[in-house]
Structure 1
Amino acid sequence: MMQASEAINIVWFLGVIAALALLFVAGLKLPVRLGYASRAVSAALVGAVAVAVVILANVALFRHDAHLDFTREKAFTPSAEAGEVVRGLAEPIDIAYFYQKQNPGAVALGAMLRQLERDNGNFRVRLIDADQNPALASSFGVRTYNSAVLRSGERRIEVVTTDDREIALGVLRLLRRREVVICFAAGNGEYDIDNFEFHTHFEGAHSHSHDASGSAVVQMEQHGIGRLRRAIEKLGVAARKISFATGQPIPDDCGVVVEANPRTRYSPGQTELMRRYLERGGSAMFLIEPDYELDDSLAALLATSGIKVGNGVIVDPKEHYFTDEQMIAVSHYGVHPITRGLTLSFYPGARPLEMVPTAGLKLTPLAVSSSEAYVIADRLGNDSTAVSTLRASRIIAVAVEGQLNETASSIFRMVVAGDADFASNSFFPYLANSDVVLAALAWLTHDERAPTMKPPVEVLPTVSLTGEQMRGIFIVTVLLMPGLIAFAGGAMWWLRR
């Protein structure tokens, strides 16, 4: 669908073409010599008018510069996220981009930075050829091609990139006035933030699985959430491991505590430390897999927060990803700051949650299944092992905000999801999964009003083909091309025999 800015640019382009055509026609009809003046005076007048028209035309073009990008991928147009960040600038930022002239990506980024500069006068760009200005690059402390130095007052950061989104992320980091630390719990077998494996899993005797269900399970390299860590660090947020299993209190500088797929049960002491942290106004994210057995104390803490964690695995025959009915696809969300602008996300094996209305707490279901969903005992089960045959919408993720109890000194925030795999390295980059996790963390850190910006996530290139396309490729490559070669060979033999 064409955007309003593109339509305006096309109108200006057509207007310029029409004006040029009008000037051309007028030039053809203009007499070489005016009847009331000599040839020299006529030439001077015509020249003066032509110069004036050219100057006015250039002024008009400069004031209404039009940018048209007819490439399918919009390769020469700044991303919508970068444009939103730049347009929202309320204070000046200076960017010096030292590019390599032989690098097409760097040249394209320079053009996009010029376009962004026109969107907001506070975004001031200086493009510098690093090869022609080595002394200037050295004075800026630049040692690498395609380095952008961003400055705002006394603050300065350097970004090495050819991607406009990385520049926008640098702007957000530059403008961040407070240090935000996201603490990832460790000590109970949680997902590791130092694990950057793209696809790690468990292989059982019966089937492929992403949990530890079943007795005949061989554990491969564990799932990790290194991609999530890398994404939040690109946003200028610090990631840190903490362990409070030994009785150490949760540090006050933890903006959020993320409990991503614990494997061993909480002790009552750990739960008490988490309770004290929430009573002080802390924020927490619990990502709980279906095979995890909650300790009674942790279940009670979540119930006090208005959330009851159910047992079993949700099966959704209507809304699922690919052909796996346990991989729940969600495209409609509850109304909440976390869910603004979210598209399709999916949850590979989720347990049901229930909301318990509690005075002083505001609970919002973030993600739910379709109304055709039901619950089975485990991932290897079938319809005959259903925990609940009732077809109804099942809650997958919940957000809660309020005072934990009457003695709490501040308001806490919490997000609980009945699945952890959707945030792991294997599924984090796909569809809107990363948007869900990053938006939840932004809300938990009280940063939901900041411009939304998702860091680029490395994804191995994939080619998705429909069944019809695959059949067409088979017919062409396996039948048609060999058949034509055989026919040509047979025809040549027939002619030469």
Structure 2
Amino acid sequence: MKDKRRIQIPIFPYVMLVLALVTLVLAAMVYVNFPSKTTVAAGTAAAGLLIAVLAFAARPAMVRELLTSRKTLLWINDIALILIIIGIGVVLSHLGFRRNVRYDFTQNQLFSISDMTIQAVRNLDQDVRITAFYPTGSPEAGMIKDLLGEYKRHSDRLSFAIVDPMRDPVTTRAMSISNVGTIVVQCDASRQDVAREALFEIPGPYGPPDAKPKFTGEQAITSAILNVTSGIKRLITFVKGHGEASISGYQPRDIAGINELLTRENFDVDEIVLLEQDIDPRTSVLAIVSPQQEFLDDEIEKLRSYIKGNKGHLLVALDPGRTHEKLERLVFEQFGVLYNNDIVVDPRGIQRNYWTVAPVLAEHQITSPIIEKEMLALMFHCRSLTLEAKEDCRIDPIMRTIDDAWAKRALDPNVSIEIEFEEGRDARGPLNMGVVVEKTGVASGTRALLLGDSDFFSNGYIGALANRDLLINSVNWMVGQYQMITIRPRILEMPRIVIDETDAGKIFTLCVIGMPLLIVLLGGIVYMVRRRV
């Protein structure tokens, strides 16, 4: 009889050899995926080689067995196939990451960015860092992360981080963040803060009843990127010395809110006393907001020289009840706009007050984004403006009253105002309350924003409805920074499926009855076929 006893071959050396191969593969993965960890990869590879040497030392016959055995050839063949499949997967993954094609199936393209943004991001020649302060797990944080991920996908120059203000208060305080939802865009020393209100538009109480929330994050963030990478910080100078609203005061009539807003938009903000100082040549916009006293002749001459000589931009906001004869004459001479001595009455009684006006916005580069968002501005105690055509001026009204409004004329500060319209004395609407003027010809380059209300800019009203956007758009228009107005906001709308009783019956019949019967039928067919065979 033959001896059927099997020869016992020790398995431990083979286990060591497999472990050595796994260690070498791990070293290769570390080297490929973490180029900076070359020392770790080399150490892992050396450990793998050492284990392989120890395995062959424990069983020297394993060399001959591996080289001549039929099983070895089969193992080599299997390993080669596995490595080829893995290699194909790695190559396809790499190609898919570098040359991928994506499509946004959402109705309003919520997870896509415009061609203008893609072009702006790809053209970055400086590093841009974006930090968003949102609580972990909030829906807004997910939307912002997806949006910034799209930015990052198109440029290695851009990086971003999502910081939870509650979990990381040190970073929050270090970057002077006071409001959750703020996004900070930085490039070298330039910084611009994007407030939450600039990212999400929530319909107000005076908007259309069918208005829907909108996401304007792309427009705000792309505009901030262009702003901080431009390398230019423009100077906005506010005139003081006549009882104007203060840029550092926090009373309702003051304009500290404007100061903070313009600073976040990467502008430098300063004040000037015209009687004591000359206008800084760097001044991009000179603002006169709610003066209480008349200007002197020397001050008027400085303003005239700024407009004509420097081709500077001017922002003037005057309230009713006070006349500034010299300043108003200068505005009329230079821009063909006359401030009327009246006060506008809006019969809608907004906020239970007939002096509160929600102006109708006319199409312009300043107002188009706001009209697209279906938002309104809010003004309080307004005076009307009369326009006179001038050859060297292009005058565009951007804010008017409704047709049913009127203006109470010939105001006397010592006599109480009757709201009712007086035929032959008062003026019927529509009336102009805000205009923009652009000089043409020899004086081309000068732009002006002229408003019949200063409360529009005050701390009490700057956050109302679209006032903030209207101010920023106006300043950007005057200095020529209005590249991003073509980016449309995305409507935040959850799609709904309405199923009536008939549709519900069809779904029940198909899923609960039809599909199980089909499976039973197929199983019966298979059974009958196999039985015949």
Distance verdict in 2 for CA 1:402–1:352, change over 3 Å? same
User: Counterpart in 1 of 2:368?
Assistant: 340
The structural deviation recorded for 1:438 is: 1.4
AA partner of residue 245 (structure 2): Y
The correspondence for 1:392, drawn from 420, 423, 429, is 429
User: Counterpart in 1 of 2:391?
Assistant: 359
User: Counterpart in 1 of 2:420?
Assistant: 383
Distance verdict in 2 for CA 1:342–1:167, change over 3 Å? closer
User: Counterpart in 2 of 1:121?
Assistant: 155
AA partner of residue 402 (structure 2): S
SS in 1 for 2:238: strand
State how far apart, in whole Å, the 2-side matches of 1:125 and 1:271 are: 49
The structural deviation recorded for 1:329 is: 1.6
User: Counterpart in 2 of 1:456?
Assistant: none
The structural deviation recorded for 1:347 is: 1.6
The structure that is helix-richer by fraction is 2
The correspondence for 1:267, drawn from 293, 296, 308, is 296
Q: Which structure 2 residue ranges, 5 or more long, are not aligned?
A: 1-76, 165-169, 200-216, 488-533
CA contact (8 A) 1:86 1:123 kept: no
State how far apart, in whole Å, the 2-side matches of 1:160 and 1:306 are: 37
The structural deviation recorded for 1:181 is: 0.3
Distance verdict in 2 for CA 1:278–1:171, change over 3 Å? same
CA contact (8 A) 2:395 2:438 kept: yes
Aligned residues: 365
State how far apart, in whole Å, the 1-side matches of 2:404 and 2:183 are: 52
The structural deviation recorded for 1:285 is: 0.7
User: Counterpart in 2 of 1:300?
Assistant: 329
SS in 1 for 2:327: helix
State how far apart, in whole Å, the 2-side matches of 1:101 and 1:398 are: 39
CA contact (8 A) 1:183 1:242 kept: yes
State how far apart, in whole Å, the 1-side matches of 2:131 and 2:344 are: 52
State how far apart, in whole Å, the 2-side matches of 1:160 and 1:282 are: 27
User: Counterpart in 1 of 2:69?
Assistant: none
User: Counterpart in 1 of 2:306?
Assistant: 277
The structural deviation recorded for 1:446 is: 2.8
User: Counterpart in 2 of 1:94?
Assistant: 127
User: Counterpart in 2 of 1:256?
Assistant: 285
* CA deviations over 1:360-407 (Å, ceiling 9, x no partner): 111111111122221125684321667744533101011112269xxx
State how far apart, in whole Å, the 1-side matches of 2:175 and 2:452 are: 47
State how far apart, in whole Å, the 2-side matches of 1:253 and 1:323 are: 44
Q: Does 1:178 align with 2:212?
A: no
User: Counterpart in 2 of 1:479?
Assistant: none
State how far apart, in whole Å, the 1-side matches of 2:158 and 2:270 are: 35
Q: Does 1:227 align with 2:227?
A: no
Distance verdict in 2 for CA 1:352–1:114, change over 3 Å? same
State how far apart, in whole Å, the 2-side matches of 1:363 and 1:416 are: 10
AA partner of residue 242 (structure 1): I
The structural deviation recorded for 1:94 is: 3.2
TM-score (norm: length of structure 2): 0.57
User: Counterpart in 2 of 1:238?
Assistant: 268
CA contact (8 A) 2:192 2:264 kept: no
SS in 1 for 2:460: coil
Distance verdict in 2 for CA 1:66–1:192, change over 3 Å? same
User: Counterpart in 1 of 2:31?
Assistant: none
Q: Does 1:437 align with 2:465?
A: no
User: Counterpart in 1 of 2:247?
Assistant: 193
SS in 2 for 1:252: coil
Larger radius of gyration: 2
Distance verdict in 2 for CA 1:349–1:357, change over 3 Å? same
State how far apart, in whole Å, the 2-side matches of 1:369 and 1:53 are: 65
User: Counterpart in 1 of 2:356?
Assistant: 327
Distance verdict in 2 for CA 1:307–1:60, change over 3 Å? same
User: Counterpart in 2 of 1:491?
Assistant: none
AA partner of residue 249 (structure 1): D
AA partner of residue 308 (structure 2): E
CA contact (8 A) 1:183 1:256 kept: yes
CA contact (8 A) 1:181 1:256 kept: yes
The structural deviation recorded for 1:324 is: 3.0
SS in 2 for 1:184: strand
State how far apart, in whole Å, the 2-side matches of 1:173 and 1:193 are: 23
SS in 2 for 1:88: helix
Which deviates more from structure 2 when the two are superposed, residues 278-287 or residues 94-103? 94-103
CA contact (8 A) 1:375 1:388 kept: no
User: Counterpart in 2 of 1:422?
Assistant: 456
The structural deviation recorded for 1:442 is: 1.4
Q: Which structure 1 residue ranges, 5 or more long, are not aligned?
A: 1-40, 131-136, 201-222, 454-497
* CA deviations over 1:113-149 (Å, ceiling 9, x no partner): 213223x33653365999xxxxxx99xxx89999978
State how far apart, in whole Å, the 2-side matches of 1:233 and 1:306 are: 32
AA partner of residue 373 (structure 1): A
Q: Does 1:309 align with 2:339?
A: yes
SS in 1 for 2:453: coil
State how far apart, in whole Å, the 1-side matches of 2:131 and 2:427 are: 62
The structural deviation recorded for 1:183 is: 0.4
AA partner of residue 337 (structure 1): Q
User: Counterpart in 2 of 1:448?
Assistant: 482
The structural deviation recorded for 1:172 is: 3.4
State how far apart, in whole Å, the 1-side matches of 2:231 and 2:81 are: 60
State how far apart, in whole Å, the 2-side matches of 1:101 and 1:303 are: 49
Distance verdict in 2 for CA 1:235–1:353, change over 3 Å? same
